[in-house]
Amino acid sequence: MWGQPPPAVRWAQPGHAARKCFIIRAAPLIGPEHNLVTTLARQLRATDYFTLGWGTMVGVGWLVIMDDWLLRGGALGALLGFAIGGALLLPIGWVYGKLVVAMPDAAGEIAYTSAVFPRSISFATGWMMTLAYFIVCPWEAVAVGRIAGYIFPGLDSVELYRIAGRPVYLPHLVIGLALTALLTLLNYRGIRLSATFQNWTSFGTLALFVVFVALGVSRGSPANFQPLFTHTPLVSILLVIQVVPYFMTGFESVGKAAEEASPDFRTQRFFRTIWMAIVIGTLFYASIVAAVAFVAPWRQLTGEKFMTAVAFQQAVRSRWIVNIILAAALLSLFKCFNGNFVAASRLFFALGRRGMVDARAGAIHAHHQTPSTAVLCVGLATASCMLLGDAILVPITEVGSVACAIGWSAACAACLALPRSRPGLMKLSVAERAVAAFGLAVGIAMALMKVIPLVPGHFTVYEWIALGVWIALGAISRRTRTANAQT
């Protein structure tokens, strides 16, 4: 056993069997229902893990803030930024594949780091990764109101208040809260319901994406790509790479549901689904940037609301293609919201199960076999944060990028340290160590480029405030938990 192992999980001894399964034993935890908690339900298949990884990664940024991407880098700069950024994540994806096969634990980075590092580092890593997933949930809850307002302009009414000069409308809040409640209910009642929802929305998004891109690019022109860069080529690409971690976060969410794999699931498939999520996610982002820049003169449209939809509408000269795009966006939003909800609730559950936050967060529902308390906490926190409205959209992407880059770095560092501290758990060849070291360097670089003042696109005061609030909440949670344990 290493660090603070989850009380409901005992790993098999190294060897062939260890690569195939993990052994579950009942945990002496009592949930809100006052019944003995057993284990999380084991019902997920390979398709479910792919749609979780890819679906968690791709949301509606391609519709809501496409203008921000293009203004950062230009047409070619944004395309190369996502292509290069995605390629740089492949070594990190390889590391996660190795780790989740060795330790299929819902704790994810918490489990990986606790095997080799002090408990404080494990908690800090898990807390930052929880932020990386959770912060997407209010983002999507706010975005659904904006999309609904675009479809039905009458919803942009009944202004309640303003934050950073942006209005917060009552209908937007109602829609966002309703979606949050729906996903909270789905995840509370069972992972199978959540996975089915994720599958339909993921493949529906891909199908609609192929349709509207194929129709739109037939009317475009290479001349629309100008300007290729908004700054010097290097700075343009760098400014886009800075936000890639936020928009590509999700492939590692596969590990957070590792304990919910069906009994006949082979753990080697974790590795494949993670890599598929990264590759298809990179292709998706690069393709949509190229398509938008190709179908219309993008520089003239950067002031438009939902620039992606406007660009395709101008190319086809019809409103019906906008309806297809908005339908794809809504499906994409639902799956991204749900995927990040799953990952955030599992990490919060893992923190509670390991005694790093209030132990009640580690409770499992006796009937539904879901981390019910963690699910409810994530749902309530999402509803609270979305009250900030549209003003949170861009700052969230910045803070989320740093949070996940920190988590990726810690996972790569743990992968490098495991063969020495736990040789029976993992072995790495010289080439494999080089891959993990490169992944560590990428993760550190992605974090530093947002916090070093000399780098273009670094944190503003708003991002520092948001990050500081989260760190303070973590310190309070940990101190409160420690004080309770001592009494």
> DSSP string spanning 169-227?
EHHHHHHHHHHHHHHHHHHHH-HHHHHHHHHHHHHHHHHHHHHHHHHHHTT--GGGG--
Distance CA 350, CA 346 (A): 6
Are the C-beta atoms of 21 and 42 separated by less than 8 Å?
no
Are the C-beta atoms of 81 and 70 separated by less than 8 Å?
no
Q: Is the pTM of this model over 0.85?
A: no
Going from the C-alpha of 246 to that of each of 48, 305, 393, the distances in angstroms are 22, 22, 12
Distance CA 33, CA 364 (A): 9
Residue 11: phi and psi, rounded to 5, are -75, 145
Question: Dihedral sign, CA of 389, 393, 396, 398?
Answer: negative
Question: Dihedral sign, CA of 359, 365, 369, 373?
Answer: negative
Residue 300: count other Cβ atoms within 10 Å of its Cβ.
12
Q: Count Cβ atoms within 10 A of the Cβ of residue 297 and give its class: 0-12 exposed, 13-18 middle, 19 or more buried.
A: middle
487 residues of the chain, pLDDT tens digit each: 344 444 444 443 333 333 333 333 333 333 333 334 457 778 888 888 999 889 888 888 888 888 889 999 899 999 999 999 999 999 999 999 999 988 888 888 999 999 899 998 999 999 989 888 888 888 888 888 888 888 888 888 888 888 877 888 899 999 999 999 999 998 898 888 888 998 999 999 999 988 888 887 788 788 888 889 998 999 999 889 888 887 888 888 888 888 888 888 887 788 889 999 999 999 999 999 999 999 888 888 887 778 888 888 888 888 888 888 888 888 988 998 988 898 899 899 988 888 888 888 888 888 888 888 999 999 999 998 888 777 666 666 677 778 888 999 999 999 999 988 888 788 889 999 999 999 999 999 888 887 888 777 677 787 888 788 888 888 887 777 655 555 5
